[in-house]
Structure 1
Amino acid sequence: KTVERVYDRAQFAQAWFANKYGTAYIIAKDLNRFLAVKERAAEFYSMPPGPGDEERAKLIESQLLFNERVELIEVSGPWARARAAEQESLLADKKTLAPYEGWLRLESLAFSLPSPGTAVVKAKTVKAGALELSLGVKLRLIDGPGGAKAFLPGGPALSLAEKDFNRLPQKAAQADLRPGILKAARFFLGDKYYWGGRSAWGIDCSGLVNLAYRAWGLELPRNADDQFAASRSVSLENLKPADLIFSAEASKPGFINHVMLYAGGGNLIEATGDTNSVREISFAEKFGADFKKARNGMVAGGKKIFFRKVIN
């Protein structure tokens, strides 16, 4: 017999996703869940963007890290609609958390067996062969005589240095946990603010909080309002470093649109579009109010301010 057609890898993947034929699909019909991101970070859009950079920037919802799991919903040309299994957001009922839905490039995905990560990158970036891994990337490690090796989707097993990751589940002492979260957040100081960013190469306010906590084994929802819902109120007197400060417009107190990390000493760390940067500043400079007199639910600088915590 002659070969009727030879597909390259991208063509084969697109045909398989669209038609779902073959022995593998017959054996395991839920292979849409056997997918992970194979790039260092993949943009996640509310809808497939057009060619213009301006339109593209407006449509970014988040970023998916390398090895982050997704569930395929549908394919449209070079785009895949998917659920981000490791990024949750509240549904319209404001009670139920569910995976974020959006669009990413089909070529960003690779087949990967679903297995829980046993380690998370705690350095801002780590070189893994030809790939650079971001803070917050989760990997399944196998310990051996030559040290820990990570098995990567779409690639070979690679060795990693113990100093660059935290083991999961993370059992850090309280004395290490809060400083570790703040250290992770401070990696980004001076970086440019990036709407929808959630990686070492671009970050927004809730992305910063999400990754800083994730690097120390604590999972928070993706967006600021959802992080607010997942946290608990705390008084100023009991506010500790790495706790969270949220704000809403005073005219819309029920709509949380910003989150910051309390850095101690009356300071906070934030990724903000106000200065288009990640910065550490005093509460007084941010809100024009005396931190020592601050109270939960107070209004200052046109913002309604809330103190919250995740860690006991």
Structure 2
Amino acid sequence: MALTLTGLMLPAVFAGEAEAAQEAAADSEEYSHYVDVSVLSVWASPEAPRNMDAPALQNPVQPWQWTESMTAADKRGLLGNLDTQALYGMEVEVLEEEGNWAKIAVEEQQTPQHETGYPGWVPKEQITESPRFELLQHADTAQVTEPTAFLHEDRSLETKSLEISFNTRLPVVFETEDKLLVATPSDGNKWINAGDVTVYEDENAIPDPEASDLQATAEQFMNLPYLWAGTSGFGFDCSGFTHTIYKAHGITIPRDSKDQARSGTAVERSNLQKGDLVFFAYNGGAGEIHHVGMYLGDGRMIHSPNSDSTVEKVAISESEYAGSYHSARRYLN
């Protein structure tokens, strides 16, 4: 028995996925929730979004329309209102509900704020329960390696469906030499160019990176405009940038800079190596940590500076953070 899909014969195991999901549903009353938009913005409260944030509150979201419509001052207005972001297909835990909003914890983002993951509020329509998607979590994973990539409706990759971010991970349903069929949380299967992803059995199968791998990944985002709380190829804040670069290489570090500075291994400034994270603090480096970059050697770092700037490589001594160096941490073995 086989199922014909877009002119492709798929194994019977995929033809029976719906039945298997239904059987699983019969055995359980609760399912995991997954992000159902390309990039999910997680807010401090349901009242936090402004009128200009409407493109980030719908399903589907319009991330470029949203970020490109904001001035630097508008972006600075997200401080204290937008807490983090999560990517398409990421698992979240629903903590509570209030009208059309849900308070969630992003399970892949470590923080002392909640034991499950980074907490905050999102519109309910942007997350979904999906027995079938949950069932496929054991499958191989396609991880997006381009800054952004498109899912397509058709095998010929002519009809675009959804633009998704770097480091988005979706279950593989079928794989050919130049394209893959992947599962989505609520919109069935979609096609993606094989050149836009790397396929892994699971996160543990991601090869241990060299510092040069981290640098090459980070440099893909040169000149990408900063976005407070951003964790995607549509825009990063400083710690969202370092968190995501490491996460893409199979290394999970805390979400926020002050927490990243408490993990890993302490490194003296005189012993910095490529790939180390360097931290900056108020009061000439003696106060609270407020910024992080990734060291590139020769006194330089790559970072996502602030709402007036873009991802850049810069000599630390010539940057606006020159007088506020605090410490460094190493996460590579």
Partners of 2:96 and 2:25 lie apart in 1 by: 16
Q: In the alignment, is the contact (CA less than 8 A) between 1:124 and 1:184 conserved in 2?
A: no
Q: Deviations over 1:152-211 (max 9, x none)?
A: 11112233344323323344355xx32232222222221221111111112100011111
Of the candidates 157, 168, 187, which is equivalent to residue 137 of structure 1? 168
Is 1:120 the counterpart of 2:118? The answer is no
Q: In the alignment, is the contact (CA less than 8 A) between 1:123 and 1:184 conserved in 2?
A: no
Partner of 1:264: 297
Partner of 1:43: 41
Q: In the alignment, is the contact (CA less than 8 A) between 2:226 and 2:306 conserved in 1?
A: yes
How many residues align? The count is 270
Of the candidates 89, 104, 110, which is equivalent to residue 122 of structure 2? 104
Q: TM-score, normalised by structure 1?
A: 0.77
Partners of 2:172 and 2:25 lie apart in 1 by: 28
Partner of 1:172: 207
Measure how far apart 1:239 and its partner are: 2.4
Q: In the alignment, is the contact (CA less than 8 A) between 1:170 and 1:216 conserved in 2?
A: no
Q: In the alignment, is the contact (CA less than 8 A) between 2:285 and 2:326 conserved in 1?
A: no
Of the candidates 130, 145, 156, which is equivalent to residue 188 of structure 2? 156
Partners of 1:186 and 1:89 lie apart in 2 by: 26
Structure 2 counterpart of 1:102, which letter?
A: G
Q: Which moved more, 1:245-254 or 1:67-76?
A: 245-254
Change (3 A) 1:218 1:281: same
Structure 2 gap ranges (5+)? 1-22, 53-73, 153-160
Q: Deviations over 1:232-277 (max 9, x none)?
A: 1123454222221111113673522111011223211111127432
Is 1:89 the counterpart of 2:120? The answer is no
Matches within 5 A, 1:12-91: 27-31=27-31, 34-48=32-46, 49=48, 51-53=50-52, 57-58=78-79, 59-91=81-113
Structure 2 counterpart of 1:60, which letter?
A: L
Partners of 2:295 and 2:285 lie apart in 1 by: 23
Task: Report the secondary structure of 2:332's partner residue.
Answer: coil
Task: Report the secondary structure of 2:262's partner residue.
Answer: helix
Partners of 1:150 and 1:156 lie apart in 2 by: 9
Measure how far apart 1:98 and its partner are: 3.9
Partner of 2:3: none
Of the candidates 200, 210, 216, which is equivalent to residue 243 of structure 2? 210
Q: In the alignment, is the contact (CA less than 8 A) between 2:227 and 2:307 conserved in 1?
A: no
Measure how far apart 1:120 and its partner are: 2.2
RMSD: 2.8
Is 1:309 the counterpart of 2:326? The answer is no
Partners of 1:83 and 1:101 lie apart in 2 by: 4
Change (3 A) 1:226 1:280: same
Partners of 1:79 and 1:153 lie apart in 2 by: 19
Aligned sequence identity (%)? 25
Q: TM-score, normalised by structure 2?
A: 0.72
Partners of 1:35 and 1:189 lie apart in 2 by: 33
Task: Report the secondary structure of 1:211's partner residue.
Answer: helix
